[in-house]
Amino acid sequence: MRWQIGRRSTNVEDRRGMSVPRAGGIGCLGLVIIVALAYLTGSNPLELLQQVGTDTSISSQGPATIPGTNDTSRQFVEVVLGSTEDAWTRIFSEAGRQYRIPKLVLFENAISSACGFNSAAVGPFYCSPDETVYLDLSFFEQLDRQFGAPGDFAQAYVIAHEVGHHVQNLLGIMDQIDGLRRRANETESNALTVLLELQADCFAGVWGCHAKDQNLLEPGDIEEGLQAAQSIGDDLIQKRSQGYVNPDSFTHGTSAQRSYWFRRGLETGRVDACSIDAIAR
């Protein structure tokens, strides 16, 4: 991906190196209780602090040094996000709507957001209450080494997928699915979540089509994106981690489904090609 020549978004916030206590903190009394519990149980007090969502560097609440302007990882993220902004602003405008640009926050290890306290273990995520994408860049290393999906366009697909959830939020699709999930059993709820994830893959493909039209893609980029979508399918992950596949517990879709809907968006460049009804059929 020719990310060096793209427009850089100004909506990336860098919180790497910052202390991240759980919202509200635990206070001095909480610290005393934690230390007492550690003494009585023989536990490591730092581990207990982490379990209650408090960063171990609690004595330093201020931001650490922010990476400089030569931080190529941040620049890459800014260009990808800028490209999604351009694509979705144009698409929404053509439909007579206004696109509200999301924020993207870079973090390390853990983050507190309007959706609660999350560790990097959950992977990149979108929080609808604050309309923000959260990304720990270590996930890109995991995507390469653990899932076998290297390349900058594979990384761009991940960002575009999370922005796809923002698009769902703006279009009211997320609220509709959440309403159905509240009335569903666990298996049905998982199936509805899969629909949201596959649509976000398709929306990522719609962005990829725009990036192609803007000459941001290089030979092999589309294959990188498709490999990324395929490598993080529920069936492949479950097979690798537990040795068997349980379709009822799927929350993101199979490898074949994820790569299919990403390709669908890439080839059509149309939002209507990514409808929930089409995916559900």
Q: In terms of pLDDT, which residue wins out, 22 or 184?
A: 184
49: pLDDT strictly greater than 70: no
Can you tell me the distance from the alpha carbon of 258 to that of 263, in angstroms, rounded to the nearest whole number?
Answer: 9
Could you count the other beta carbons within 10 Å of the beta carbon of residue 178?
14
What's the average model confidence in pLDDT over 20-33?
44
Could you count the other beta carbons within 10 Å of the beta carbon of residue 86?
18
Q: What is the pLDDT of residues 107-121, one digit of tens each?
A: 999 999 999 999 999
Can you tell me the distance from the alpha carbon of 194 to that of 233, in angstroms, rounded to the nearest whole number?
Answer: 11
pLDDT computed for residue 70 by the predictor: 53
Q: How distant, in Å, are the alpha carbons of 128, 129, 164, 177, 228 from that of 169?
A: 7, 9, 9, 10, 24
**By the 8 A CB rule, do 206 and 87 touch?**
yes
pLDDT computed for residue 216 by the predictor: 87
Highest mean pLDDT among 31-35, 47-51, 125-129: 125-129
Q: In terms of pLDDT, which residue wins out, 19 or 189?
A: 189
Element (H, E) at 36: helix 27-41
Of the candidates 192, 198, 171, the residue with the CA atom closest to the CA atom of residue 257: 198
pTM value surpassing 0.85: no
Element (H, E) at 61: none
pLDDT band for 214, please (50, 70, 90 cuts): confident
What's the average model confidence in pLDDT over 135-149?
94
pLDDT band for 98, please (50, 70, 90 cuts): very high
CA 83 to chain centre: 16
Q: How distant, in Å, are the alpha carbons of 47, 94, 134, 271 from that of 86?
A: 44, 12, 20, 15
Sheet with 132-135, side-by-side order of all strands = 12-14, 103-106, 132-135, 125-127
44: pLDDT strictly greater than 90: no
Of the candidates 84, 65, 108, the residue with the CA atom closest to the CA atom of residue 8: 84
Could you count the other beta carbons within 10 Å of the beta carbon of residue 276?
16
Q: What is the pLDDT of residues 222-257, one digit of tens each?
A: 999 999 999 999 999 999 899 999 999 999 999 999
28: pLDDT strictly greater than 50: no
Q: Where are the domains of the chain?
A: 3-16+65-280, 20-62
pLDDT computed for residue 20 by the predictor: 54
CA atoms within 13 A on the CB side of 144: 11
